Amino acid sequence: MGQLIRTITFGLNIDVDAPERSSARIERFLTRCPELLDEHGLAARCLRLTCQPQQIMYQSQDGPLHAQAFARAMEEMIAGRAWFCLPGPHYRSAAMPVDALEAIPAILEATCNVFTHTLISSPSGVHRGAIRKAGEVIARLARLDENSQANFRFAVMANVLPNSPFFPAAYHDGADGFSIALELAGLMNHCFQQRRLFNDKLLLFQEEAEQYVRKVAEFAEELAANENLEFKGIDFSLAPFPGEDSSAVRAVEHLNNTPIGSYDFLFSLYAVNNLLKQGFAQYSQVGYNGTMLSPLEDTWLARRLGEGAFELKDLLLYACVCGCGLDMIPLQMETSPSQLASLIEPISAQAIKWNKPLTARLLPTAVDADGMTRFDHDFIVNTRLLKLKSADFADPMDDGHSFFSPMEPKRAIDELSYRPHLYKVSGR
């Protein structure tokens, strides 16, 4: 096997009423891409596909049935060779009905390899009604299958731009194209465990990663030219995968011997995220470009959770400098919809305040006799639950169903199409 990358995510404009029109193009991607990867000495952990938001579909009365049929058709077309993300309702104004989120359980119940999401905040504002409804949907999804895994395939998004390669936050905009997510955790763990000073470790990783990134970029340029696609960019996020050597948190801890939960961890986390953005600014970037603190995908972080090293409020604090939000969070099955909504709301606030993409992927679940989760998926590591305290939740006076528009200058016109931000540094 060649040098590993996380994923290649293709974004296509697909006719929701006639998805078969895209079948030949999709077939060529799924056939040619692995061949070209092999020619470049690369391999992908998985291939992924997404399409443009289907806003009109969700506003119709039969939206859930229509979305379910479309999802099934795409899954049959892909036939287990890739994952597909069907964008759910995007709440960019008060006009999108809250009940459009009823399509989410319909999509996930009918499929195995289809992911979906909803966008509940953007520069135009925060749809608090959609947040409340999303809490209800998450609670329902937790009981959709015996392993409570449906929420693995659903994310609530805040300020996420198009063309991210990571699921379930991927959606397409513009010309047909693709984006790439890297596998950097193994290399960063190796570099940060060397006997070097703080700055020297960061520089070592940048130098070691450059050859790998250049190889990926050369592959991307050839794929774009050969298949008449637009290369959207690379997400440099430090994403974990089960296994200690592929732990994102273990790498950050080793940078300066700062365990998660300690005050010093925040600065180490900031330094890593700054490196991922600024250290590779000569490449087109899309997505998060930060560290993903995902307890159910990170063996080392799962162990730290079992030790009681951090709480949910720590993860919310880290989201200020981190790259993801509250991702893959194991919670008690009895967590109420209103409590789930109360966890999503601060993520939406941080995303808008700091103009960064964040998501919430919350997984209420049952546990075994030893208090461990019982998930069964290659991307998931089992661990203990993050405990919630009833005293941490307020009893709001209003019904929370309003659309909140921040009273600050708009940073951008909140309409598709728009382009991902390119980070630049001087002297390179």
Question: Could you report the per-residue pLDDT of 24-46, keeping only the tens digit for each?
Answer: 999 999 999 999 999 999 999 99
* Choice among 263-267, 269-273, 302-306, 322-326 with the minimum mean pLDDT: 322-326
Whether 112 and 79 have beta carbons less than 8 Å apart is answered as no
**pLDDT higher than 50, residue 420:** no
CA distance 237 to 288: 6
Q: What is the pLDDT of residues 220-276, one digit of tens each?
A: 999 999 999 999 999 999 999 999 999 999 999 999 999 999 999 999 999 999 999
Please state, as a whole number, how many other Cβ atoms lie within 10 Å of the Cβ of residue 264: 12
**pLDDT higher than 60, residue 327:** yes
Q: Averaged over 6-12, what is the pLDDT?
A: 98
Q: Averaged over 305-328, what is the pLDDT?
A: 93
pLDDT of residue 419: 37
Beta bridge partners of 118: 156
DSSP 384: P
pLDDT of residue 410: 54
CB contact set of 16 (below 8 Å; sequence gap of 6+): 51, 54, 57, 66, 70
| Count of residues making up the chain | 428
Assigned fold of 1-394: Anaerobic Ribonucleotide-triphosphate Reductase Large Chain (3.20.70)
pLDDT of residue 395: 82
Tokens representing 240 are 């974990």
DSSP 386: P
CA distance 428 to 9: 28
pLDDT of residue 160: 96
Q: What is the pLDDT of residues 114-168, one digit of tens each?
A: 999 999 999 889 999 999 999 999 999 999 998 899 999 999 999 999 999 999 9
Share of the chain above pLDDT 90, in %: 86
Q: Averaged over 65-92, what is the pLDDT?
A: 96
Query: Is the alpha carbon torsion for 333, 248, 6, 382 positive or negative?
Result: negative
Comparison of pLDDT for 64 and 322, the residue scoring more: 64
Tokens 């960064």 sit at which residue?
356
DSSP 151: G
**pLDDT higher than 50, residue 287:** yes
pLDDT of residue 49: 98
Q: What is the pLDDT of residues 182-228, one digit of tens each?
A: 999 999 999 999 999 999 999 999 999 999 999 999 999 999 999 99
pTM: 0.93
Q: 117: helix, coil or strand?
A: strand
pLDDT of residue 84: 98
pLDDT of residue 424: 37
pLDDT of residue 396: 76
pLDDT of residue 10: 98
**pLDDT higher than 60, residue 346:** yes
pLDDT band at 388 (very low <50, low <70, confident <90, very high): very high
pLDDT of residue 423: 33
pLDDT band at 427 (very low <50, low <70, confident <90, very high): very low
pLDDT of residue 422: 37
Q: Work out the angle between the directed axes of helices 248-256 and 198-227 (0-180°, nearest 10).
A: 150
Comparison of pLDDT for 419 and 378, the residue scoring more: 378
Mean pLDDT for all residues in the chain: 92
Comparison of pLDDT for 398 and 19, the residue scoring more: 19
Q: Is the peptide bond before 342 cis (omega within 30 degrees of 0)?
A: no
